[in-house]
Amino acid sequence: MKIVAGLGSIDEYETFVKVGADEFFCGYVPFSWAEKYGVIHPLNRREVLFYNVQIGSMSELQILKKMVDYYGKPVKLTFNSIYYTGEQYPVIAEIITKCMAAGFENFIIADPALMLYLRQQKINCGIHLSGETAEVNRGMLEQMLPFGIRRVIFHRKNSLEDMQSCIKFVNDKKINYKCDIKENIEEKYMFPDEYEAFILNELCHFSGAFCNSLHCDELTHLCRVPYELGNLHKKEETDTAQKDVAETDRIQEKEGKGLPLDEDGYLTGSTGCGLCALYRMKQVGITHLKLVGRGNYTDFMEKDIRQLRKALDILEKSDNELQYQREMKASLFPDGCSQNCYYR
């Protein structure tokens, strides 16, 4: 399995390559798009200018491509909005065409209408099905396959059983298709052979597509706004719910004091972790591991990549899941982990 790391700026590329990243994803929002559409009609749901979340100029992309050529670690560009307005599709197609001319061939896309538009315009780019899509299941993949998906990125709430079922479905379709194929039919990009799953950071409350927040400079992300769960119409239940929340906070604060925070106060996987599930992910057919990191501190991302690389090295030497989990936890979390698990 390969490590796919989020890239906030081109300055991080070399650092992350040297500590073990195999592949990258990053946003690209030309200033002309930001100037015209602002944050209300985002290109990739990360309309941020004040800190490193994405690339904002073609000249930076061209520099990044030279780095990719030198180090051999590919970069894919994100177009993560789940829908666009009608006038935006030709604009996006032009942006993607320019990116392809600059040497980038794979794009993470969430909007099925954009996929259809690109194919209608004969733009033969590589499409990776975004983890920002609302659902990934067999019925949904049945609809996506005609667009020529190279890779399926499962969203945060997909279970390992969901992933296994989807991968088996695609493989069965591939076998049946090859049995019936005629020699003059081009197979290129017809079926995905790569599958990506979230592994570290940002266990999103809203699972991507269901987020109604704006990720921009002007507003706090909705998931960062404090809230409490309770029934506003029944005071007794509300009081009980508030006490439960307070007790949970007290326990987590107490337990948190024993967690292995480093000198910078950082714990790998504290905002979402799937390291315990690596053995099962390999068994079900996951080929790539998404390490979320756009906007994260560079040194924190560097630590995460090192930790994930250690876990993969342990995985390669493990004969079974129990051995892997025991040795991984002893090496990476000797004093306990955050328990903020993607795949329980």
Which residue positions in the chain have pLDDT lower than 50?
Answer: 181-189, 241, 245, 247-257
pLDDT of residue 96: 97
Question: What pLDDT does 316 receive?
Answer: 96
pLDDT on residue 248 = 45
Q: Do the strands 106-109 and 126-129 form a parallel or antiparallel pair, or are they unpaired?
A: parallel
The predicted pLDDT at position 63 comes to 96
pLDDT at residue 232, as a whole number: 57
Region for residue 74 given its phi and psi (left: phi exceeds 0; alpha: psi -120 to 50; beta: otherwise): beta
Residue 134: DSSP 8-state:
S
Give the domains, in start order, of the chain with CATH numbers. 2-217+264-333 (3.20.20.380)
Q: Model-level pTM?
A: 0.85
Beta carbons of 42 and 125 less than 8 angstroms apart: no
Two tokens, residue 334: 């000797």
For position 342, what pLDDT does the model report?
Answer: 85
142: which residues sit within 8 A by CB, 6+ positions away? none
